[in-house]
């Protein structure tokens, strides 16, 4: 039977669907053909051809990708299928099923193949592609490919200091390479270097939240108070606390540092900062009210 002869490959359903999606007849024919092959447990070159036609019309067709994996494994064509998957990733970089297919093939081969190069090329096109970042995290951790990653992500942050995805990946690298999960300790030199790095980057774009979130995450990871982060207090302390808030991120950080203090005077200063933030940042007024309320409850608690 010809791969394009789809008329009798799948029996018609006796169940009437609630709503029918008006597929193109050509696409519906391909899908009927693949369903027929699956029902007959047929894994063949013809089925692979049909799955290819389906993917050309709908790269998110999960069943077509699953069929191709079974076919590639059966025929011993996993390496060739990875080349096909790579081409599809390049054409459809925001498609989850394409990345998932590539990952499953890498798992089958148990080697990274072209995964680092593929994600790098994808991130050069779109430095905030979630699928590429997620895949790179997985591939680096699975195959222990950390050696050049800090340099890689530094270049992306240099290119765009506001790239929150790159900052998130940098945190992943520090957590995986500089943090001892048993002692729950972050290597002191790395902690100092990374917070200093984030503070320097914050000066390039003072109203960029990413480096401040990065510092908070490192402090939580290391289980240390914000006040103990080397250089942080001096970086965020306002020159004149009585003036209007100029930067909500530094003001927020400094208020949280004061909140952690045992000093009642520091907590009162934090409360005043939250009140000023309510005035200067009305879009987030409810958030600052919550912060102030939480602080006041902690002060009144015996």
Query: pTM value?
Result: 0.88
What's the chain look like in SS3?
CCCCCCCCCCCCCCCCCCCCCCCCHHHHHHHHHHHHHHHCCCCCHHHHHHHHHHHHHCCCCHHHHHHHHHHHHHHCCHHHHHHHHHHHHHHCCCCHHHHHHHHHHHHHHCCCCCHHHHHHHHHHHCCCCHHHHHHHHHHHHHCCCCCCHHHHHHHHHHHCCCCHHHHHHHHHHHHHHCEECCCCEECHHHHHHHHHHHHHHHCCCCCCCHHHHHHHHHHHHHCCCHHHCCCHHHHHCCCCCCCCCCCHHHHHHHHHHHHHCCCHHHHHHHHHHHHHHHHHCHHHHHHHHHHHHHHHHHHHCC
pLDDT category at 25 given cuts 50, 70, 90 is: confident
Asked about 94 being catalytic, the answer comes back as yes
Per residue in 240-283, pLDDT tens? 766 678 899 999 999 999 999 999 999 999 999 999 999 999 99
Marked catalytic residue, from 94, 128, 142, 272: 94
Residue 42: pLDDT above 60? Answer: yes
Residues 18-22: what's their mean pLDDT?
78
How much is the pLDDT for 8?
A: 45
The chain-wide mean pLDDT, for the chain, equals 90
Paired tokens of 68:
């191709």
How much is the pLDDT for 178?
A: 87
How much is the pLDDT for 1?
A: 42
Residues 206-222: what's their mean pLDDT?
93
Per residue in 103-146, pLDDT tens? 999 999 999 999 999 999 999 999 999 999 999 999 999 999 99
How much is the pLDDT for 13?
A: 55
How much is the pLDDT for 302?
A: 59
| 212 Rama sector, left if φ>0, alpha if ψ -120 to 50, beta otherwise | alpha
* Residues of the chain above pLDDT 70, percent: 91
């Amino acid at each position: 039977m010809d791969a394009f002869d789809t008329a009798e490959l799948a029996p018609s359903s006796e169940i009437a669907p609630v709503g029918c999606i008006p597929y193109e007849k050509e696409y519906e024919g391909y899908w009927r053909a693949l369903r027929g092959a699956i029902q007959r447990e047929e894994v063949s070159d013809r089925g692979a051809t049909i799955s290819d036609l389906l993917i050309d019309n709908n790269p998110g067709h999960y069943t077509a990708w699953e069929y191709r994996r079974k076919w590639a494994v059966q025929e011993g064509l996993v390496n060739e299928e990875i080349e096909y998957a790579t081409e599809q990733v390049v054409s459809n970089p925001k498609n989850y099923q394409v990345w998932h297919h590539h990952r499953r093939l890498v798992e089958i081969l148990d080697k990274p193949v072209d995964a680092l190069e593929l994600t790098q090329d994808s991130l050069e096109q779109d430095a905030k592609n979630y699928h590429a970042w997620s895949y790179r995290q997985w591939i680096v951790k699975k195959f222990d490919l950390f050696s050049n990653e800090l340099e890689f992500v530094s270049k992306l942050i240099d290119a765009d200091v506001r790239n929150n995805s790159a900052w998130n990946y940098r945190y992943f690298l520090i957590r995986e390479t500089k943090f001892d999960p048993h002692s729950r300790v972050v290597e002191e030199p790395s902690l100092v270097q990374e917070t200093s790095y984030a503070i320097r980057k914050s000066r390039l774009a003072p109203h960029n939240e990413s480096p401040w979130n990065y510092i908070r995450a490192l402090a939580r990871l290391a289980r240390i108070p914000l006040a103990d982060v080397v250089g942080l207090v001096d970086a965020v302390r306002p020159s004149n606390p009585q003036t209007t808030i100029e930067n909500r991120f530094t003001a927020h950080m400094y208020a949280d540092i004061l909140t952690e203090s045992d000093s009642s005077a520091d907590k009162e200063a934090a409360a005043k900062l939250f009140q000023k933030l309510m005035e200067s940042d009305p879009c987030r007024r409810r958030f600052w009210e919550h912060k102030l309320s939480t602080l006041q409850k902690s002060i009144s608690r015996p």
